[in-house]
Structure 1
Amino acid sequence: MFFGNRKGSGQNTGQDKVISMDSFRSGCSLSPIRQAEAYWTALRRGNDVPNRSQIDPRGLENILSQTFVLERIAPGIARFRLAGQKLNEMAGMEVRGMPLTAFFTPAARKQVSASLEHMFDAPSIVELTLSTVATRNNPAQEARMLMLPLRSDLGDVSRALGVFVSEGNATKTSQRFDVVATELRAVTAVRPVQKKQEYKSPAKTTNELNAGFAETQAKFGDERSVMDEARALAKKSREIMDETRQTLQKTGDQSKSKQNIAPHLRLVVSRD
C-alpha cells in the first residue's frame, strides 16, 4: 500500500489517498479470493488436491456469502451444488442446481467450458476476470471468480471450491458476464515440512578401529539365556549318563565272558 502526505501539511503532491494493491479497478477487495486459496492450500497433502469432505464452512465463515461448490456433470459442464447469497443476488434467483455457464454470455460459455475441463483434467487453478455488458442505464461492472479443484468421495477430481467477488447487483436483475482474462495455474506439489531428526552416532562394526589411539574392539559373543544354559546342562548330563552306561555294559560283558570259559586241568609231564 502507498501512503501519501496529509492534507494541509503544505507538502501535498496529490498523493493523499491510500491505494490498496489487493483490489481491481472497481475497488472490490481480492482478499476473499486469497483467503479461499490459502485455506484450500492448507488442506492439501503433498501434490494431491483436497477432498470435498475436508471443506469445513467454519474455515470460510467470513466469506461464505461469496463461496460456492461446483459438481462436474458432463465434459465442460458443472453445476452449483452450494452457492452463497452473493451469487443469488447477482443472478437474481436461486442458483443451486444451475450450470455455471448460466452466469455468462453465449460468447463466453465456450471459453468457460474449456477452463472447467482444464481444471478437472490437469488439475489446475482457474481465475477469471469478468465484466458485464454495459447498457444505457448500467455501466460495465467488473468481477473476479476463482475455482479450486476438489476430489469427490469416489476419489476423482469432479468437484470445485469457488469464490465470486463483485460490487453487487443493485438492480436485482440477472447479470451475464464476459470473460476478460483467464489465468490457469497448474496444481504444483507442496513442499513437505521437514521434521527435525535426532542425531544418532554411526554404528561401528566389529574390530573397527576407534578414533585416536584406541585399541581394537573385542568381539563379544551372543549372551546366552537361562533356558539355553539349562538345555546345555541337561545335554551334558545325558552324555555323562550314556558314557557311564556304556562303561558298565562293557564291564558286565567281560565278566560274563570269563564265567563262560570251561575249567580244565593242565598236565605237566616230566621225564626226569
Structure 2
Amino acid sequence: MDQMNYTAPAPPVSVPPAQPVYATSCLRAAWDDVRATPNYVGRLLVLGLIMCVPVLNFVVAGYLLFWSREVPFGGRSALPQKIVTGKNFEFGFYAFVISLVVGLAGGVVGSILGWVPLLGWIVALAISLATYVAVAIMEMRMIMGMSLGEGFNVKDIWEKAKRNWGQLLLVTLVPMAIIIGVTVVVSIVVFSIMFFCCMGAVPAIAAMGGAADPSLVQIMSVFGAIAVPVLLCSVVLYVVLSVLETFAQAVAIRGVAHWVARYAPEWTTLSVPRY
C-alpha cells in the first residue's frame, strides 16, 4: 500500500434519530380529550366552583392530574364522575407545594433581575413564564411517580424537556394566554357594571353632603348603594376567573400528559400505573 497516498476513512457521522410526526399537537389532542366527555362544560363548571373554595380547591388539581396520568399508559377515558377524594386532595396538595416552592424561587430571582436597566422587566417576565412551564412539567412527573419527591427531580426533568421545547411551551402557555385575554375582557365588563352601579349613589351622597347632620338612614343608603354592587361584582368576577382557570388547567395538564407520552415515555416506569 502506498502510505503517501493513503487517506484514512472519515469517521461515521452519527445521525440523531428523527422524531415521529404526530397527527395532532399535544394541545389539540388535549382539547379533543376534554371535549370527548359528555357535558364537559358542566363538569368543568363544577370543578370551577370547587376551585373557589380555599383548601378544598386542592382536589381540582389532583383530579385533573389523575385523569391525565392515564395518557402515557394509553388511556383515553372521559372526565371521571367522582371529584372529591382523599387521593385527589393529597396529590393536589403536592401540586400546590411544587407551585409554591418554584413560584417563590422564580419570584425572588425575577425580583432581583428585574432591577437590571432596560432589559430587567423582560428578564423578569421570561422567568415568570419559565416558572409556569416548570411547575406544569414538575407536577406531571410527580403524578407519574406518585411521589412529591419525583416532582423535584430537576435533572431528569431538564433532560426530558429538551427533547421538544416547542410542544411543551405551546401546551402550557397558550391556554394561559387565552385565559388572560378573556380575563381582561371580563374584568373590564364587570368593573364597568360596578362603576355605573356606584354612580347611582351620587344623588344620595350629594344629599347627605348638604345635610348638617345626616341621618343613619342616609348613611346606610349610601353605604348600601356602593358596597352592595362592589361586593356582588367582586364575587361574580372571582367565580368567573376560577372557572376560566379550571378550563385552562384541564387543557394544559392533559396536554402535558400527551407531551410525556410522546417525549418522556420513560416516566411510565416511575410507579405502577393506577388510573
Structure 1 and Structure 2 fold alike (TM over 0.5) = no
State the structure with more CA Rg: 1
TM-score range, shorter chain: under 0.3
The structure with the greater share of residues assigned to strand is 1
The structure with the greater share of residues assigned to helix is 2
Normalized against structure 2, the TM-score is what?
0.27
Normalized against structure 1, the TM-score is what?
0.27
